[in-house]
Chain A
Amino acid sequence: MIRRTDFLTKNYGVPNGWSLSVYEKTGGYEAAKKALAMTREAVVDEAKKANLRGRGGAGFPMGVKWSFMRPHPTKPAYLVINADEGEPGTHKDRTLMELNPHSVVEGCIIGCYGIGAHVAYIYVRDELHLSKARLWGAIDEARAKGYLGKTPFGKDYPVEIYVHTGAGAYICGEETALLNSLEGKRGEPRLKPPFPAQAGAFGCPTTVNNLETIAAVPTIFTIGGEEFSKYSSLHYLNDGGVRLFGINGHVKKPGVHELAVGVTIRELVEDIGGGVLGGRRILGVIPGGSSTPILRADEKVNAPDEKSPLHPWHGKSVLDVPLGVDTMRGIGTMLGTCCVTVLAEGTCPVLAMHNLMQFYRHESCGQCTPCREGGAWLLGTVEKILDGHGTMADLNTLTDVANNIMGNTICAFGEGTAMPALGFIGKFRKDFVAYINGERKRSDARLTIS
């Protein structure tokens, strides 16, 4: 069901919509005032009620994450915001930083108070120069008004926010790699435990939240956690609220839209995205960034068990399942960042996998052998198949290599490489075999459609 909202996006397109004056005209910073008048425990409880599943990809409930933070006798706590947006197919956080940066600043004030931190670092990938400038602009405006600094809104609870930059490494979107990068090191993920809530930034208790997650916090405190959650038709699955949906690839109107949780892929493609380019049919859809396994348009939901959360959609097309954290998991993929990439009929899935394997090969940090070497093997083997030199044994090698990456690496990047690979190989096997049998040639393969 499509339900449009504009909590996060009301000032998109408004002249100077990113400025403090516009933000305050529509109730900006009232939520922070309200939250700072509450107890810390009440703030975390309200956040829990919102059922806001982390918007960065893993879908962990934000309020629960906040509740893991315990005051430490000697160490300070930190809030770290992950704005290293770089998952292929993901283009939502950037719009918030450029067009609604004060929601991020206000969210950070509430977040810091909720978790007991006095400093927040917003880690922005270096390429996003406009985003960084708008965030710094918002921070400076908020500080000039006394909303940041020693006594925000007159309360004796100092809060400072700093923007920190990366230097071009996708892996720094992994929270522990990000923390290492923030500390001035190579962006290599850390073994967990300890989890960031115990030992995060600079060895201190830390909460890492995605940028969209923190930007939604003021809305939660404006309308109330439960009210926020109830906007979602998946409220009953503890998947609440409104969020940004991206749509890209072979659709007529790509873009970013704020909608209540519960919209289906078909609604997103047909109604929001204006349908597939050239009026073609859908070949496949990547639901939330390149690490989430592709769905074929002709796949059906198989959930005969009445207790399954997927049962209401049993026998229907996977494209008619609402985009939610647990619903997508139930059909063998992931919601990820909720930005949908559409591949129209006529696109070569082998070439698409090859493109993504180049990405994963390039971005592996190199720490763990299965990922470092496996990524290269996956790319090399697809390349061989595309070039017409592949055998059926190579197809098995692809599956073997991917399966040997899964579960054998420090961080989830390994799964992020293997899962989409297994998705392409399993769901488009015939296309791979066509190259092996010499029925198809690389020179005829296309990613664009005319």
Chain B
Amino acid sequence: MAFALSEERDRELRQLLERYPTKAAACIPLLHLCQDQAGYIGDEVIEFVAHRLDLPPAHVKGVVTFYSLFNQHPVGKHQVWVCRTLPCALRGAEDVIKQCEKKLGIHIGETTANGKVTLRTAECLASCGTAPMMQVDKEYFENLTHDRVDEILSRLMESKR
């Protein structure tokens, strides 16, 4: 089925297009808008973006595959990213990763069976002074402790959304 943006997001797209001298420049922000709606960037989204911005679908596909934050396949409702890079690793990131895997019962890169949470590691998220840290959807959780991680994940698993 062809993809279309919701009315509100379509309004956002029109605002986006006013900011740049070229349509193509809206490519990454538009892909974010689409992913917010669809959860991932499938072929029909690529077709849609290419059509709206007068770009070859291959160009859009090239962009999607370049950037880590674009999901090329369906993912869980919530995204958990644990920073694994050195400054966080010096302060216990590995323990956080192991705790998340155990608590969620999945490995890095996997989604829980109920489709609720996808767990991934991230490269440096610019929170080295408040390490270890993780990002859950759009929120940062810093200075993590064992109890805090437990609490964050429990709340996430029990959430209605």
B6-14, B108-116, B131-139, B149-157: which one contacts chain A? B131-139
Q: In the complex, how many angstroms separate the beta carbon of A243 from the nearest chain B beta carbon?
A: 15
A256 touches B86 (CB 8 A): no
Check B39 for interface membership: any CB of A closer than 8 A.
Answer: no
| Across-interface contacts of B128 in A (CB, < 8 A) | 88-91, 246, 248-249, 254, 339, 341
The contact of B85 among A128, A184, A250, A359, by CB within 8 Å, is: A359
Q: What residues on A are CB-neighbors of B25 within 8 Å?
A: 164, 182-184, 202
A341 near B87 with CB under 8 A, answer yes
The answer to whether A333 has its CB under 8 Å from any CB of chain B is no
Interface size range on B against A: 35 or more
Please report the C-alpha to C-alpha distance between residue A80 and residue B11 in the assembled complex, in whole angstroms.
25
Number of interface residues of A (CB under 8 A): 56
Whether B129 pairs with A246 at a CB distance below 8 angstroms is: yes
Report the nearest B residue to A290, measured CB to CB. Answer: B86
Contact in complex: B86, A88 (CB < 8 Å): yes
Q: Are B138 and A129 in contact (CB under 8 A)?
A: yes
Taking CB atoms, residues of chain B closer than 8 Å to A87 are 124
Bound Cα distance A355, B128 (Å):
15
Q: Which of B66-104 contact A (CB under 8 A)?
A: 66-70, 81, 84-87, 89-92, 94-95
Which chain B residues border A202 with CB–CB below 8 Å? 20-22, 25
A372 interface hit (Cβ, 8 Å): no
B69 touches A184 (CB 8 A): no
Query: Are B94's CB and A167's CB within 8 A?
Result: no
From 247 to 271 in chain A, residues with beta carbon under 8 angstroms from any chain B beta carbon are 247-250, 254-256
B137 → chain A closest CB, angstroms:
9
Contact A167 B67, CB 8 Å, known A88-B124, A248-B128: yes
Is B140 engaged at the interface, CB distance under 8 Å to the other chain? yes
Q: Known: A91-B130, A183-B25, A447-B90. Is A167-B123 also a contact (CB below 8 A)? A: no
**A167-B69, A202-B22, A355-B86 are contacts. A130–B130 as well, Cβ < 8 Å?**
no
| A86 on the B face (CB < 8 A) | yes
Is B67 within 8 A of A166, CB to CB?
Answer: yes
Q: What is the distance, in angstroms, from B157's C-beta to the closest C-beta of chain A?
A: 22
Task: Give, as a whole number of angstroms, the nearest-CB distance from B136 to chain A.
Answer: 11
Known: A184-B63, A202-B22. A170 touches B124 (CB 8 A): yes
Q: A91-B128, A448-B92 are in contact. List 6 more A-B contacts (CB 8 A).
A: A126-B32, A166-B28, A169-B67, A183-B25, A249-B128, A362-B123
